[in-house]
Structure 1
Amino acid sequence: MVSQNLIKDYFTYEFWVKAEKSTSKNTRFLILPKNINRATDLTGIGIAVSFNNIQVLETGAKFSPIIEVHRDLNYWTHIAVVYQNKEIYLYINSNLVKRIVSKKELVLFVPQSVNRNNFAGSIRGLRIWSYSRNASEIKSFMNQLLPSDEKGLVFNYHGDIRNRVITKTRNTIKKKNNKKDTKIIALYLPQFHEIKENNNWWGKGFTEWSNTKKAKPLFHNHYQPREPYRDFYYDLTNPGVRAWQAKLAKQYGIFGFCYYHYWFKGRRLLERPFNEVLASGKPDFPFCLSWANEPWTRNWNGGSRNVLMPEDYGEKRDWKEHFNYLIKAFKDKRYIRVNNKPLFVIYRPETIPNLIDMMDYWEELAIQHGLEGIYFVQTFNGFRPLSPINRFDAAVEFEPHFTLAHGKDNNFWKLVNGYNGKAKYLDYDRIWESILSRNNKQHKKVFLGAFTDWDNTARMQSSGTIYHGATPAKFKNYLSRQIDRANNVYDSEFLFINAWNEWAEGAYLEPDKKFKYGYLEAVRDALKMNR
């Protein structure tokens, strides 16, 4: 193979092979990154196939088999090698037969041409993907012809590589896809400024940074505290900060923010940053609102203990007052719309006693104010019941909570030795694989969700929930696949990321000291992979 581009961290190599019985053991079809400079420490990954043997190789200063499987290849056999952050998986006919962890970070070079290297047999359907495919994806598509502009597919030759060199890397299948690209909306927390209520409840000067700063690691390699890049502990009442956020989001491909909105029977909390966004017209960046209709409690999770601010929904008079506040946002030219209706998310609709009556009344008021209605979105957030409410136009999956609530919790939990006894955390990779393998069983419009990371021990200390193992590289891989599902499975116009700035819950895209701009770069790259 002649090398062209370098892929690292995540990739999939797959092909069909059939050996001839006359093939000797030493005559192989080789897939090797031949332009690796052996004087460097750059290590590639290669595959060697003979008539009854499959080897996965590390190719650096020497060629070292790291996986070897004996298998009769006299019949057409599908082989896939998946690389995922040092983990290597060998699939034969979509069945996992071997998994190892490499001691090195391996790379793969995308070829310009391929040859059969004196292998007496046939190779066809040779593909390289720029992400790690799972068993169901491999099985579903291994018999299909795919267009070369398939998202994530960086090398594709569906012909038979037999007695000649193939230099063609693009086939002629044209993809008919008139769907719009999915837009990324990031959930946005406004609790980065002082309010009198928080000062009374938690002490003078309290903001979200107060919790973030006091976090401590609970076990070895536990990433706490989370510190913003260059110690930028901002205040959202500063319009320059809001302008910086919008500029940064736009630069890396974020379409808009979904601001959390708090309403307690006429009383508003944390409203100042958004009110100033509305009044000033700046930043010029799309937005929508998510009504976080939970009581505020001392245990931070909306539970019933030690209620600081109860959620009382009132009747028609309160509904009208609430609508009169919302209409100012709904009429703003920056407000995100679907079918010319402002998109409005409700986080806990199941807790609202007269929900349908309230929604019908708001719809009526919206039409009276010259709108075509309101595009109501229900949050699938993990609270029971998990079923959709028919009055809503769509639902949004709030991850990782929604997936965890589907059960099978034992598949995700791991136990480690903590600094004060045993500590538990959830496996980041396992929860993401569960997210990506779930189908839309709701039979309604669903906006998919994604999450960068989750660790709310800054708020909850040892009672918090930790998803361990997140990195920007992993997030890029998973987000790319989720965008592909949003585009091609769910036909979803939007994908919601949790979150832009949930620092005390470990869910943020903003730059930090450890990864700098890594998560934003992951969003940019995942979007590019799906263009």
Structure 2
Amino acid sequence: MRRRHTYAFGILFAVLVFFTWKLKSTKNPTKNLSLGIDHSFVTQAPRVLFYFFPQWHPVAENNRLRGWDFTDWVLIREAAETAPKNNLIQQPTELGWYNLLSYNVRLRQAQLLKQYGGYGFIYHVYWFNDHPVMDEALRQMLADSDIDVPYLLCWANEDWFNRWYGGDTRVIFHVNINPRYIKVNGKPVFQVYQADTDMDLVFRDFKKWSSEFGFPGVHCHQTLAHFHKTPFNRLEPLKYRIPVSALADGVTEFQPNFIQNWTHEHITTTAQIPRHHPSYHWRGIHVDWDYGPRHHRFSNQRSHPFLFEQHLRLVIEAMRNDILTLSLSPKEQYVTVNAWNEWSEGNAMEPSNFYGRAYLEALEVAVLKRVEHSRVCVLLKSFTLQSPFNAMNKTLRSLETFSANIQWEVLAYSAYQTPEVPIEFMNYIRHMNAHDVRFVDMPLHLQHMNTSGSEILKYMIPHCHAVRNAHYILILLEGEILRGTPRAPDNWNEPWVFPLENCRVQTIWRLAQRIGYLEVNKAVFDVFSLTLGYNQRCE
């Protein structure tokens, strides 16, 4: 669908949404959902907002131009069927191919957001030709007063005209400001997605309108986005400067890590972008990127939840330093993430077929710093191909006894080199009736006694979902028995410590380490470049 926006109608629609909808929920009017999340952590870290895309429901324009009930889900399904073998299209799992007009979908999104440490949403609003588009989900969200999720609006003004046409005051404003709307100094925040030289005129008229109608004002934010003409040079991050309107009350970084090489060096330097506003410079990152579903050009270089976690921690730390150095209020400083649900460009936090909840868990790591929910993947080497599997039984029973509070999964593989799958061993694992123990068929060159753990890990990262999404990796031999409760780390950068007894009744200590970021990045990049594709070997 072609997008055409004019300043007059686009901004007035945004203003209308700002100052209206003093609505009571018609869904559950007597029930208020606090969602059980304590946001007291906001005094220690800037709060995290996610850009939210509204196109996941049918609209009249798409029905007319693309066919009945068309949404971007159609593009994703088509891409999944036609993409090259070396590219995996991320698709939704837990929430399914949802319709945003469903109250239960909006409720579940809010629950996931707060469960993992997010604070609120930035809703994109659109104005095509002479009317708003894709606004029904936003209207229904505003009616969901029992789902307490803060929000603000961003005018997605793509393909706009290059001059300001002046105000149009035919829209009647309402005095009641929705209490969930995010404010700075008592003023609602309004972002403009694609800013250029006309921003002075836009912000001037916007502030004028708000004053004429008796409002406390509008806090106007200009985005610093990747499509500006100023390139980002990771070797000279402090020289990164974008023209900012003199009337802008703040700026928001919009995915400054939009880069073609996901490496530690890029991530570190994009977190060092100099402040463009003395009081309100909100830092930002984006999740991942693959515009294949929408533009049929598939990316071979992608991000990973570990890289996202590392970048988010660096950006939060940069914002925290800004707060302390400049004596800023933490409740008015935010980190923005693009996006919560931009599925058609491979850019989503929601659970997917590829990473599960790993991006949400990365958010939890960076914001809530919870180590009690660690997920440990155990790579268990077996030397036995035929029953009885006594040594294996002892190891598995000890894990069940002492690791009850840890989310763990065992991937068992054979150390014997054989061209055929060890059927008896595989069937033994499969019939254990344990969802957290699986058999892995290793390639021949890894099936020998002297294969190191790092060699196994290098193979497993790109080929096994459980390894990619684990927080920690523990490498064990059958017969090694856990003799006590593992010691949890003080923070996410330290290992778990497992007290073990080996087959010679010697006490040993094994560390469950986090997978290195660059190791994961290289393995994932390599597999995207393979012609054989993502053929998962785990059973």
Question: TM-score, normalised on structure 1?
Answer: 0.53
The whole-number CA distance in structure 2 between the counterparts of 1:465 and 1:226 is 12
Deviation string, structure 1 residues 237-281 (Cα, Å, up to 9, x no partner): 112211111121111111110000112464101000001222443
Q: Which residue identity is paired with 1:516?
A: G
Which residue number in structure 2 is paired with residue 439 of structure 1? 274
Bigger strand share: 1
Q: Distance in 1 between matches of 2:292 and 2:339?
A: 16
Counterpart Cα distance in 2 of 1:338 and 1:466? 40
Distance 1:332 1:244 in 2: 21
The aligned residue for residue 7 of structure 1 is none
Of residues 111, 124, 136, the one that matches 1:247 is 111
* 3-state SS of 1:450 partner: strand
Q: Which AA in structure 2 matches 1:494?
A: Y
Match status 1:315 vs 2:165: yes
1:311 is displaced (CA, Å) by 5.5
Q: Is the 8 A contact 1:183 1:495 kept in 2?
A: yes
Q: Check if 1:483 corresponds to 2:316.
A: yes
Task: State TM-score, norm by structure 2.
Answer: 0.53
Give me the CA root mean square deviation: 3.0
Does residue 379 of the first structure (1) align with residue 223 of the second (2)? yes
Classify 1:340/1:260 alpha carbon distance in 2 versus 1 (closer, same or farther; 3 Å).
same
Instruction: Tell me what 2:49 maps to.
Output: 185
Distance 1:503 1:437, change over 3 A: same
Q: Are the aligned partners of 2:95 and 2:351 in contact in 1 as well (CA < 8 Å)?
A: no
Instruction: State the distance in 1 between where 2:164 and 2:128 align.
Output: 9
Residue 227 (structure 1) aligns with: 91
Q: CA deviation at 1:438?
A: 3.4
Q: Output aligned runs, 1:301-380, within 5 Å.
A: 315-318=165-168, 320-321=169-170, 324=172, 331-350=177-196, 352=198, 355-380=199-224
Asked if the contact 1:214/1:225 (under 8 Å) is kept, the reply is no
1:5 — aligned with what? none
Alpha-carbon distance between aligned partners in 2 of 1:211 and 1:428, rounded to the nearest angstrom: 29
Any idea what SS the aligned residue of 2:283 has? strand
User: Structure 1's 380 and 467: CA in aligned 2 closer, same or farther, altered over 3 A?
Assistant: farther
Structure 1 residues 215, 363: closer, same or farther in 2, change over 3 A? same
Report the Cα offset of residue 283 of structure 1: 2.6
Shift of 1:460: 1.0
Do structure 1's residue 461 and structure 2's residue 301 form an aligned pair? no
Say whether the 8 Å CA contact 2:83–2:89 is kept in structure 1: no
Counterpart in 2 of 1:473? 306
In the TM superposition, what whole-angstrom CA distance separates every residue of 1:56-95 from its partner, at most 9, and x where no partner exists? xxxxxxxxxxxxxxxxxxxxxxxxxxxxxxxxxxxxxxxx
Change in CA separation of 1:312 and 1:284 when aligned onto 2, cut-off 3 Å: farther
Structure 1 residue 497 and structure 2 residue 340: aligned?
no
Q: Distance in 2 between matches of 1:291 and 1:220?
A: 37
Distance 1:187 1:230 in 2: 20
Alignment of 1:133-144 (within 5 A): none
> How big is each residue's C-alpha offset from its partner over 1:409-452, in whole Å with a ceiling of 9 and x where there is no partner?
xxx64xxxxxxxxxxxx435554233124333665631000111
Does the C-alpha gap of structure 1 residues 202 and 485 become closer, same or farther in structure 2, counting only changes over 3 Å?
A: same
Asked if structure 2 preserves the Cα contact closer than 8 Å seen for 1:294 and 1:311, the reply is no
> How far apart, CA to CA, are the structure 2 residues paired with 1:180 and 1:342?
23
- Equivalent position SS for 2:275: coil
1:104-253 paired onto structure 2 within 5 Å: 181-216=45-80, 221-222=86-87, 224-230=88-94, 232-253=96-117
Using a 3 Å threshold, how does the CA distance of structure 1 residues 215 and 229 change in structure 2: closer, same or farther?
same
Letter in 2 for 1:495: V
Aligned positions of 1:265-304 closer than 5 A: 266-295=130-159
Please give the secondary structure, in 2, of the residue aligned with 1:242. helix
Cα distance in 2 for partners of 1:282, 1:292 equals 27
In the comparison of the two structures, how many residue pairs are matched? 311
Uncovered stretches (5+) of structure 2, i.e. residues with no partner: 1-41, 231-241, 371-490, 492-539
User: Which has the larger helix fraction?
Assistant: 2
Residue 315 (structure 1) shift: 3.4
Counterpart of 1:136?
A: none
Specify the alignment match of 1:508 in structure 2: 348
The CA distance in 2 between the partners of 1:231 and 1:445, in whole Å, is 35
Which amino acid is the alignment partner of residue 515 of structure 1?
Y
* Alpha-carbon distance between aligned partners in 2 of 1:479 and 1:202, rounded to the nearest angstrom: 37
Which amino acid counterpart does residue 521 of structure 1 have in structure 2? E
Contact 1:265–1:314 under 8 Å retained in 2: no
2:463 maps to none
Greater RCO structure (CA 8 Å; 6+ sep): 2
Secondary structure of the corresponding residue to residue 229 of structure 1: coil
Quote the offset at 1:391 in angstroms.
0.9
* Contact 1:347 1:378 (C-alpha < 8 Å) held by counterparts: yes
Runs of 4+ aligned structure 1 residues displaced above 6 Å come to none
Give secondary structure in 1 for the equivalent of 2:79. coil
CA distance in 2, matches of 1:234, 1:366: 36
Q: Which amino acid aligns with 2:165?
A: E
Give the superposition deviation at 1:206.
Answer: 1.1
Contact 2:50 2:338 in 1 (8 A): yes
Measured against aligned partners, the alpha-carbon deviations of 1:433-491 in whole angstroms (never above 9, x if no partner) come to: 331243336656310001111111111112x55542x2222222221111111111365
Amino acid at match of 1:510: E
Q: Structure 2 matches for 1:380-395, cutoff 5 A?
A: 380-382=224-226, 383-384=228-229, 386-395=242-251
Deviations 1:83-118 (A, max 9, x none): xxxxxxxxxxxxxxxxxxxxxxxxxxxxxxxxxxxx
Partner of residue 117, structure 1: none
Which stretch shows the higher mean deviation, 439-448 or 194-203?
439-448
Structure 1 counterpart of 2:285:
450
Matching residue within 396, 408, 412 for 2:252: 396
8 A contact 1:265–1:312 mirrored in 2: no
CA distance in structure 2 between the partners assigned to 1:466 and 1:341 by the alignment: 43
